[in-house]
Amino acid sequence: MRRLRLPIVLLLGALAIAGIAHGQPPSGISRPSNETGVSQLELGAELYAGNCASCHGVAGRGILSNATHQGVGGIRGRGPSLRGVGAQAADLYLRTGFMPLSNPGERPYRRRVLFSDREIRALVAYVASLAPGPGIPHVDPAAGSVSQGFQLFTEHCAGCHQSVAEGGYVTDARVPPIKQSTPTQIAEAVRTGPYLMPEFSKRQISDAELNSIVAYVQASKHPEDRGGWGIGHIGPVPEGMVAWAIAGIALVGLCVLIGERVKA
């Protein structure tokens, strides 16, 4: 017993350290020390230099070459140019927590937003100032029609996001659910096409149609479950499995009845 004590203490210590490490944010945000004292554009530029430039390059030119370029904080990253993406893409990526990535090879998924609201506004303004690009779109779900939205959603979005916006999979990537997205974020994503998502221009989906799509997604956040239980709203597969489970129990019950011995 005595011989085991040291390894156990070491193990517990290691676990405690691992726990503390896990509790830390995935990546730190470098902030200017006098954040409240600087103007919005200055703050944006400083935050960009400290948190984005290692992958997106100086002044948003992107790092496209394979040459190992060591950026801020020693991060070696490659990333697309941000010139011309406008406030639209910057607002989407920052408010959903897609960016910053803790590792340049990571996939952008929704996570905890590490910047404050003022910091996000500053960064968005900075990215928008790099080159002319689309601004944050305005959506008005109240002006849209849910039934038209359902039709359009089925045609353009449901292939990946499922008919009730629960998300799913595409080869090599996860398709996020849209339940947490605000109307503005949905519109931004449709126009920007983040990560592997196709982008839809106004020629494909007009602003009025986009209003309807957003109205449908809002409606789908609280679907009417006529059966009483939505089973995750991810379609016929779980429904079929539940049906099979109930049918299986019924069949076993039937077998018990059939196999019951008749007392002569």
Partner 1 sequence: VKRFLVALFGFLTLRRRRKPPEPAPTEPEHRGAENAVIVLLLLAGLCGAAFVFFYATSSISNQTQWLGLSLGVALGLVATALIVLSRTLLNEEESAEDYPSHEHPAEQEEIEQLVEQTGSRFTRKGLLKAAGGAAAVGVGAALVAPAASLGPVAGTGSLYDTPWKRGKRLVDVRGRPLAADAIETGTFYTAFPEGASRDEIASPLVLVRLDPRELRLPAARRAWAPGGILAFSKICTHAGCAVALYRKPTFAPIDPRPALVCPCHYSTFDPARGGDVIFGPAGRPLPQLPLEIDADGNLRAAGNFSGPVGPSWWGVRMRGPGNPSS
Stretch that binds partner 1, among 9-17, 110-118, 206-214, 248-256 (CB under 8 A): 248-256
Site pattern 137..156 for partner 1 (x: CB under 8 A): ------------------x-
Q: Which is nearer to partner 1, 146 or 195 (CB)?
A: 195
Among residue numbers 15 through 74, which ones bind partner 1 (CB under 8 A)? 64, 66
Should residue 97 be labelled a site residue for partner 1 when binding is judged by CB under 8 A? no
Among 121-129, 137-145, 164-172, 207-215, the segment contacting partner 1 (CB under 8 A): 164-172
Q: Tell whether residue 257 is a contact of partner 1 (CB under 8 A).
A: yes
Shortest gap between Cβ of 106 and partner 1 (angstroms)?
10
The nearest distance, CB 50 to partner 1, in angstroms, is 21
Q: Using the rule CB under 8 A, is 170 a contact of partner 1?
A: yes
- Contact between 172 and partner 1 (CB under 8 A)? yes
3-state secondary structure the chain: CHHHHHHHHHHHHHHHHHHHHHHCCCCCCCCCCCHHHCCHHHHHHHHHHHHCHHHHCHHHCCECCCCCCCCHHHCCCCECCCCCCHHHHHHHHHHCCCCCCCCCCCCCCCCCCCCCHHHHHHHHHHHHHHCCCCCCCCCCHHHCCHHHHHHHHHHHCHHHHCCCCCCEEECCEEECCCCCCCHHHHHHHHHHCCCCCCCCCCCCCCHHHHHHHHHHHHHHCCCCCCCCCCHHHCCHHHHHHHHHHHHHHHHHHHHHHHHCCCCC
User: Quick one: which of 44, 60, 79, 144 contacts partner 1 (CB under 8 A)?
Assistant: 79
Q: Residue 262 Cβ, how far from partner 1 at the closest point, in Å?
A: 6
18 vs 170, beta carbon nearer partner 1: 170
**Residue 34 vs 225, nearer CB to partner 1:** 225
The answer to the question of residue 158 lying near partner 1 (CB under 8 A) is: yes
Is residue 52 within 8 A of residue 89, CB to CB? The reply is no
**Buried residues in 206-219 as b, exposed as e (16+ CB within 10 A):** eeebbbbbbbbbbb
Query: Is residue 229 at the binding interface for partner 1, with CB under 8 A as the rule?
Result: yes
Binding site for partner 1 (CB under 8 A): 64, 66, 78-80, 104-105, 155, 158-160, 168-173, 193-201, 203-204, 229, 242, 246, 249-250, 253, 256-258, 260-264
